[in-house]
A and B are shown apart, each in its own frame.
Chain A
Amino acid sequence: MEDETFDSLFGAPPPGGDDADIEHQLLFGNPASRRAFLKQIAGTGAALALAPNLLNAPRAFAAESVPAQAAPAMGGLDVRLKINGKEFALQKLDPRVTLLDALRERLNLTGSKKGCDHGQCGACTVLINGRRVNSCLALAAAHEGDEITTIEGLAQGDQLHPVQSAFLEHDGFQCGYCTPGQICSAVACIKEGHAKDDAEIREWMSGNLCRCGAYPNIVAAIREARENPATSSRA
């Protein structure tokens, strides 16, 4: 990418030598190092996109603070996961790989989203044996044999799940990033019987955050899917 493009995206440095320049450097760093940094980020992103198998490389995850000699032998685990009714065999899986990372980086099921990665936002919500969980806090290896359902597994062919249809109908999203987690969570919420009224929906969906603030429409969608599971379903 050309420097001009970076400048148009991140602001060109002011003409040099005065106080404004120093201020700009304090805020954005030295123009040269700033560009190098941004290029490095762009490069890293491209590398990740081109090499999803990077997660096979144990080094990719190693925390810098952990001394190398503390690392136990990491032969990797052979793990079989049952996802959306299909069996997947993962070979030499690093035990640190969470279910979320296994889905996204190894199995190309990128519907489940990584928001906070600390079990606080709910974007990674999937169903394990019918129960909603945060896949970012679940180790993939611990879920061998479990029935895992992700957002990709809710529709029947072209027939959307009633909750998916209701989210479309009620515009239950803006940017859409939290939506797969919201929908998986809502499917379980209704099945649990925790969607009796709006107050209950709000309480029992509190583990799914929406930074766009689409909450009123999310509540409306869940209410609709609970009331009319058949009619809100459409191709």
Chain B
Amino acid sequence: MNPFTYTRVSDQQQAIAAVAAAPQAKFLGGGTNLIDLMKMGVEAPPQLIDIGRLPLAQVEELPDGKGIRIGALARNSDVAEHPLIAQRYPVLSQAFLAGASPQLRNMATVGGNLLQRTRCYYFYDPAFPQCNKRNPGSGCGALNGFNRIHAILGQSEQCIATNPSDMNVALAALDAVVRVHGPEGEREIPIGDLHRLPGNTPNVDTNLWAGELITAVDLPAMPFAVRSHYLKMRDRASYAFALVSVAAVLEVGADGKIKEARLALGGVAHKPWRALEAEKQLVGQTADERSFAAAAQAALANAKAYKYNEFKIELAKRSIIRALSTVAAMPS
């Protein structure tokens, strides 16, 4: 691991100033991804600013029924089992519990989960010479390599890595808003604008500005999200990254017609993939397998597979149908 200086801060402004003053410095939250990447030699920050003790771990209701605010340092396990989350946004609770292991969920923060880096083997292991994300301009080792876990939507010839987070997929379906605080002040970033598609700059994961600290994630009120589901398909029954995952939320009227739909996919793209076309198509349709299959078709219409991941297209379609069917079968 590279040598670094360690500073624990007790004040948000102090944390932001420290990282703003040293562009290579990193905030340390739960450390479950950053420390691992430092051990791998993928990350080598000369300075760690430990924000672990900032008072940003609360889960609370926003005034006027506007929704829930989750502090950036809330641990994944605490958010998953928080009654406000488990009751109002079961899809998010399920996504948390589908991710990692109990030990890692006890450590990992919500802010850190948002910023998790890809588990593409070619990125994670510097022994591979090619990775445009790790070493811009070196090429993409996965493109013609072992690309079974890689992207099928929104990728570029520069990078076919996927975003590994389960939480992000649920947040995308729930229209979450990420609150950040930086040297220029505070701002809100809709979840769909936080992560980027790889394009020609796969080395840049997010649209955060230098020195910006994620302070909270807001979940807007979405009463119909009580009927929601997170479905994760993976190689093992537990403790594995998603090959494909689906976050589904449906509001079905008394007439059996879909009034609202939210659909997001994980394991398929460089960012949590909101399936807006499919959602549009679902609204007004009868909540049955026929309309779900049509939505699945729409969601994967532009999918492009590589040598080893063609199975993901069909897997994603079937997972969408199953997730939507599960929600439709829930008592209203």
Q: Interface on A for B, CB 8 Å cutoff?
A: 58, 61-63, 65-66, 70-74, 77, 94-96, 98, 117-119, 122, 125, 131-134, 137-139, 141-142, 185, 188-189, 192, 194, 202-208
Contacts and interface: CB of A to CB of B under 8 A. Distances in A.
A72 B39 contact: no
Interface of B: 1-6, 8, 28, 31-32, 35-36, 39-41, 44, 46-48, 50, 52, 77, 100-104, 106-107, 126, 237-239
B213 to A, nearest CB: 17
Contacts of B104: 119, 134, 137, 207
A65 B38 CA distance: 12
B6 A125 contact: no
B41 A206 contact: no
B39 A118 contact: yes
Contact of B107 (A71, A138, A189, A206): A138
A72 B31 CA distance: 20
Residue in B1, B40, B101 with the greatest tally of chain A CB atoms within 10 Å: B101
A207 B237 CA distance: 12
A70 B28 CA distance: 20
Given A98-B35, A118-B39, A137-B31, A70 B2 contact: yes
Contacts of B46: 70, 72
B99 to A, nearest CB: 11
A62 to B, nearest CB: 6
Contacts of A62: 3
Contact of A207 (B35, B52, B239): B239
A194 B105 CA distance: 14
29 contacts: A58-B3, A62-B3, A72-B3, A72-B4, A72-B47, A74-B5, A77-B6, A94-B3, A98-B35, A132-B103, A133-B106, A133-B107, A134-B32, A134-B104, A137-B104, A138-B31, A139-B50, A141-B8, A141-B50, A142-B6, A142-B8, A142-B28, A142-B31, A189-B102, A202-B237, A206-B101, A206-B239, A207-B100, A207-B101
Nearest to B238: A206
Nearest to A71: B3
